């Protein structure tokens, strides 16, 4: 049984919207007057729930509301939620950048946060000087940094420039150096927010490796990310926040699925305005939609019916042979399959093209998928136009049509209809 290292009790955070100006002072005086008389802050009552796309009715918004959770020692917990769900606010409170409006958090052990790497880098100082400074800002002593200096420099991969002022660094190098320092903190609790989004692939691998190390050493990690694959593979448990409240906490894979199915609301039709059309000077994509066999728009896909992905693109220049193709990805970001146009009819003609890929029934398992549309030339290979995550759709199964009695979710990316051949080949005598 492991100890609880983070425990929050009714944590809430109220934010004021709008501009601070002459008008604000009346509110402040109001609150002060209420406090003097020993009454409750009048503005704590009026805060509304944090829903970003709704017009605000009140000047105050609950960025977090009644957050209660516990994290046991050694747990790697993911925090997922849409932008504005309160993830960053929660991390900011945990890392003491701002304080809660009500409630409290109890923490056991040294806590360090990587809200953004390279905090406090001074452009005029050299890499080495900045390692000392940054390390100290993050809570290391000078002796600690000195001891780990070689490791940090090695890890960052910028050893050749370590005595050059940081202002001469590329942004990628700055980030590497910053992460290297952060990765060598040795806190009992590590808070990470979206840092994996920066740096090149090789460096990201290093970072994930470092995170795993930290986790393997039995330290606690809170990990906020929009990358569901990362959350899924790194985290044991997960918390799903929506509009400042906890929707659910549980096993990482379950929560990720729940999050994806409720937030990645399907989007089965898209039209780009003239300025936003993805593409280069050869090809641009205009619009796309998902259809059933009667060419009607659909909101979701029935597993046992075929469906089509149709898109319209324009070829602006002759001399290429732009070939449409579609990638279908699972909600975890894995590629399910790629379809490439094969009819080869008039692909190089300049003008507006419409293309449809028909996906047979009983191919994809139930779940959420995203569509990447592209138009490429293959000789030489050029990606003319690409629209990642252009559409999202959900495949839904009619359970009543199952020909067996297993009535729970069946795993896997594909759900082909398979031929079974079963016979009894010999009877045994049953002793009654």
Partner 1 sequence: MAVRSIQGAENQEWSLVIKPKTNWLSLNLKDLWRYRDLLFLFVRRDFVAVYKQTILGPAWFFIQPILTTVMYMVVFGGIAKLSTDGMPQSLFYMSGVTAWSYFADCINKTSKTFTSNAAIFGKVYFPRLIMPLSIIVSNLIKFGIQFLLFMGFLVFFLVKGSDVNPNFYIFLMPVLILMMACLGLGLGLIISSLTTKYRDLTHLVTFGVQLFMYATPVVYPLSALSDKNELIQKIVMLNPLTPIVEAFRYSFLGAGTVSPIDLVISGVTILFILIIGIIVFNRIEKNFMDTV
Question: Which residues of this chain interact with partner 1, rule CB under 8 A?
Answer: 1-4, 7, 15-16, 20, 24-25, 28, 70, 72, 92-111, 113, 115-116, 119-120, 122, 124-125, 129, 132-133, 136-142, 165, 237, 250
Q: How many CA atoms lie within 13 A of 216 on its CB side?
A: 6
What is the DSSP code string of 104-138?
Answer: EEEE-S-EEEESSTTTT--TTSBHHHHHHHHHHHT
Decide whether 129 or 258 has the Cβ nearer to partner 1.
Answer: 129
Decide whether 107 or 291 has the Cβ nearer to partner 1.
Answer: 107
- Do 164 and 125 contact (CB within 8 A), yes or no? no
Beta-carbon count within 10 A of 3 CB: 9
Decide whether 3 or 405 has the Cβ nearer to partner 1.
Answer: 3
CB of 196 to partner 1, least distance (A): 17
CB of 68 to partner 1, least distance (A): 12
Q: Supply φ then ψ for residue 382, to 5 degrees.
A: -130, 130
- Give yes or no for a cis peptide into 411 (omega within 30° of 0): no
CB of 116 to partner 1, least distance (A): 5
Decide whether 106 or 147 has the Cβ nearer to partner 1.
Answer: 106
Report how far residue 181's alpha carbon sits from residue 310's, in angstroms, rounded to the nearest whole number.
Answer: 49
- Do 416 and 362 contact (CB within 8 A), yes or no? yes
CB of 84 to partner 1, least distance (A): 16
Decide whether 90 or 373 has the Cβ nearer to partner 1.
Answer: 90
Q: Give the pairing type, strands 4-16 and 60-72.
A: antiparallel
Report how far residue 309's alpha carbon sits from residue 287's, in angstroms, rounded to the nearest whole number.
Answer: 11
Report how far residue 133's alpha carbon sits from residue 140's, in angstroms, rounded to the nearest whole number.
Answer: 9
- Do 403 and 431 contact (CB within 8 A), yes or no? no
CB of 130 to partner 1, least distance (A): 9
Decide whether 5 or 211 has the Cβ nearer to partner 1.
Answer: 5
Helix (H, G, I), strand (E, B), or coil: what is residue 187?
Answer: coil
CB of 234 to partner 1, least distance (A): 17
CB of 35 to partner 1, least distance (A): 11
Decide whether 36 or 430 has the Cβ nearer to partner 1.
Answer: 36
């Amino acid at each position: 049984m492991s100890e609880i290292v983070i425990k929050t009790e009714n944590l809430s955070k109220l934010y004021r919207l709008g501009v601070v100006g002459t008008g604000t002072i009346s509110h402040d005086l109001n609150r002060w007057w209420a406090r003097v008389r020993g009454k409750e802050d009048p503005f704590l009552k009026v805060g509304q729930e944090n829903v970003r796309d709704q017009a605000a009715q009140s000047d105050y918004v609950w960025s977090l509301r009644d957050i209660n959770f516990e994290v046991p020692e050694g747990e790697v917990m993911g925090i997922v939620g849409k932008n504005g769900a309160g993830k960053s606010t929660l991390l900011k409170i945990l890392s003491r950048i701002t304080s809660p409006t009500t409630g409290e958090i109890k923490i056991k052990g040294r806590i360090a946060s990587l809200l953004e790497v390279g905090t406090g880098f001074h452009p005029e100082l050299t890499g080495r000087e900045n390692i000392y400074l940054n390390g100290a800002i993050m809570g290391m002593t000078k002796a600690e940094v000195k001891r780990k200096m070689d490791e940090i420099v090695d890890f960052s991969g910028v050893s050749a420039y370590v005595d050059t002022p940081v202002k001469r660094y590329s942004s990628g190098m700055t980030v590497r150096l910053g992460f290297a320092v952060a990765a060598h903190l040795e806190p009992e609790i590590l808070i990470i927010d979206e840092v994996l989004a920066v740096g090149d692939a090789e460096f990201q691998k290093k970072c994930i490796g470092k995170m795993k190390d930290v986790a393997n050493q039995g330290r606690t990690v809170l990990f906020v990310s929009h990358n569901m694959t990362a959350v899924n593979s790194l985290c044991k448990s997960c918390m799903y926040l929506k509009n400042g409240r906890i929707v659910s906490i549980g096993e990482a894979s379950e929560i990720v699925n729940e999050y994806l199915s409720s937030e990645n609301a399907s989007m089965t039709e898209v039209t780009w305005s003239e300025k936003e059309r993805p593409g280069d000077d050869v090809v641009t994509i205009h619009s796309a939609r998902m259809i059933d066999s009667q060419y009607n728009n659909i909101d979701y896909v029935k597993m046992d019916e075929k469906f089509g992905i149709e898109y319209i693109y324009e070829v602006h220049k002759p001399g290429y042979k732009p070939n449409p193709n579609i990638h279908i990805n699972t909600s975890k970001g894995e590629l399910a399959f790629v379809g490439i146009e094969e009819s080869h009819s008039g692909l190089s003609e300049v003008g507006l093209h419409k293309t449809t890929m028909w996906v047979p029934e009983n191919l994809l398992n139930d779940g959420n998928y995203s569509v990447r549309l592209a138009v490429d030339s293959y000789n030489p290979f050029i990606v003319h136009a690409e629209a990642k995550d252009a559409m999202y759709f959900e495949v839904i199964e009619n359970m009543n049509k199952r020909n067996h009695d297993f009535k729970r979710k069946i795993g896997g990316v594909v759900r082909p209809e398979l031929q079974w051949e079963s016979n009894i080949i010999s009877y045994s005598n049953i002793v009654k």
